[in-house]
Chain A
Amino acid sequence: MRDQIAKYSGRLLSDRSAVPGRISFAAQDDVLLTDGDPELARLAGEVLFSLSCLGMVAALPSLPFADFLVRRAPAGETRIVPRDTETRTFLHDIPFLRREELGGDAAARIARLLGNRKGVIAEGLGIFANGPVTVEHAYINYSSVFHAVFVKYLLDVLAEGFLLPGEKEAFEGFRRDWLRPVSAEGLPFRSGPLEDPGEILAEIAAVGRYTVERGLVDSFFGNISCRAGGVVYISQTAASLDELPGRIDPVPMDNSSTTGITASSELLAHRRIYEASGARTILHGHPKFAVAMSMLCEEKDCPVKDCWKDCDRVRLLGDAPVVAGEIGAGGLAKRVPPVIASPRKAVVYGHGVFTVGRTDFAEAFRAMVALENWCREEYFRRLAEKFSG
C-alpha cells in the first residue's frame, strides 16, 4: 500500500488541494502504516486504528475556506451543509471540530465523527477523510470535501461578504496566487470524425487527462464519451479521467449487450444527448465556478424548495442553459438533452457541465473551458458589484 500512499500524496500536490508538507496518510492491512507530516500522520494513524476502514488521509487544505466556514458557522453548529449535488448525494454534510474541541484526545473525537461520515474538518489541522475500501477511496473523500467546501465558500462569500478578520486578504490571495487561467492552449486534439476504435480510445484517454490537468473536475471524476456508428465509447463509472486506458466501455446504442453495466452513471444522459443533438463527442466535468454559479437564482417567492432536482425552469449562465436534475436515472438525463443541441453546452444545477462536439473533442473541451472562464469572471464581477466600496 506504500505505492498507493505515494501516488495519492502526489495527487494532492498536483491538484493543489493540500499544502505541501502538511499531507499525511495512514493505511492498515495487518499492520498500520503512516506516512507524511509527523503530527498529522500520528493523528491519522490513531484515528484509523479505531475505525473499520483501510485508509485515511489527513491534510491541510491549500485554501483556508474550510476553516473560514467553521468560524463563520453559528455557535453551537457542528456541521456545514453544502448544497451542491455531490454533497447532497454522497457526503450529506460535513461535520467539524472547532479548534477548542481539539485539545486532549483529538483523535478520538475525530474518529467518532468519521465513524458516521466520509470527511471531517478539524479547524487548524485540516480535512480528515476515511477510505473504507482503499487509499484511493480516502483521497476521493478528501477531494469531495475540498470541492464541496470550495463551492460553498464561494457562494457564502457572494451572499454575505467577508465576516472574519483576514478573510478578505486571504480571498484576494486565493484569486491572485491559487487560481490559474483555465485554457485549452497547447493541447493537441485529433480531428474528427473519429471512426477507428483504437483512435477513439486513445483520444478519450488523452482528453480525459486534459480535463484533470486543466482543473475541470473535482478530484478526477467526470465522464467522457465518443459515438461512432452504433457504439458509444464511454468512460467507466468511478474511473479517474486521467487514467482511462482499459477503463472505457464500448456500449452498443441498441443495448444488445450489457457489458457496459460498468459504464459511467451518466450513460443514459450521454445516449439521449447523442440522440437529441447528433453530436459525436460528449464531455462532462465539474468545474468549480460553473458549479457555484449554477446555484445562483434571482427568482423571488419561488415555491420550489429543492431547486437542484425539482426546478423545471431553464435559466442561463451567459449563453449556457442551466437545468436541474439528479445524477444517473435521477432526472438529469431527461432535462439536459432537450436544451443542449443548439448551444452545445449545458449546466446542471449544482453539479457540472456537459459540452458536446460535432465531430471531435476539441470543440467540447474548448466550450467547457470557455464556460468555466465566463463563470469565473462573472462570479468576481458580481462579487465586486455587490461589495465594492
Chain B
Amino acid sequence: MHPALSINGLRKVYANGVEAIKGIDLEVAQRDFFALLGPNGAGKSTTIGIINSLIRKTAGTIDIFGISIDEDFARAKLNIGVMPQEFNFNAFERTMDIVVTQAGYYGIPHSVATERAEHDLKLMGLWEKRHTRAIALSGGMKRRLMIARSIVHRPKLLILDEPTAGVDIDLRRLLWELLRTLNSEGTTIILTTHYLEEAEHLCRNVAIIDHGTIIQNTSIRELLKLLQREVFVMDLISPLVKTEDWSYGDAQIHIVDSNTLKVNTHRDQSLNDIFNHLNENGIQVSSMRPQSNRLEELFLSLTRSDPP
C-alpha cells in the first residue's frame, strides 16, 4: 500500500536566495493523523504550499498515494483537500455556493455537489446559513465553512493549516470530534497547529520542522519519551510554613506563594514519593496540574536554539 504522502529530498530556494526547505524526507501512512509542527518560518507552510502546487519546488519528489506530482499532478490533486489558515473564500458569495463551486473545480456534477454540500453544511452546523453571504458569518462559522469546502470533494488526504486558530473552546472541541470522525472513516489528516495540546490530543505521529529541516519524525508517544523533566503546579489545602525552596531526591520544589508549589521533577521520579515527602512535612495538596503541555515543553526544548 502506497503511503498517503511521500516526500524525498524536498528543497525550496526562493528567488531572494532564502532556502526555506533544505532537503526534507517525510512519509505519512494512509489513515494516519499526522502533526507537522514547527515555529513560525520553519518551513511548514512552504511544504504544504509545494504539496498543493501554490509553491514550486526547487528539488525533490512528492508522491500522493503513489502518484508523482511531477508526472500527473492533476490526478494527485484529486486526492488532496487543503484548508488554509486564512479565510480565502469570496466573502460576497453565499455559503452554499462556495461549497458547491469548490466541488465543481474537482469535476463533481452539480447534483452530487449539492447533496454533498447539504451534508457537509449540516455536519458543520451551517445549513441554516446556506443562503447567507460569507461576509456575514461569524469567525467560527467561517472556519467551519473552510472545513466544509475542503472536504466536499471527499479527499483521501486532508491538510489542515491551523484549523482551530482563533476559535473558542466549544468550537475547537467540536472540530476535534469532526476531524476524529473523518480520520476514523479513512481520511488521512495532516495537521499543523500552534496548539500543541491539540496535536497531542489528535495525532498519532508527528514531524517537527525547524529551519527547513526535520528535526524529529516519530510517534507522539515516542516523542514524549524524550521529555526528561516535567513541572507540576500544586495547590495546597493550607498555607505553607516553609519560606524557602528545597529539593527532594531529583525534584526541585519551588514556593510560588504560600498556597502554591511548583515541582520540577525527572520523568523517572515517582510522584508517590513526592506526595509522601510532602505529607511527611505536613503539606496537603488539593489539586495538581502540569505547568504546561508536555509536548509544548518538548517542542520548546527542541526548537529553542537560535538560527545558525
A and B associate: no
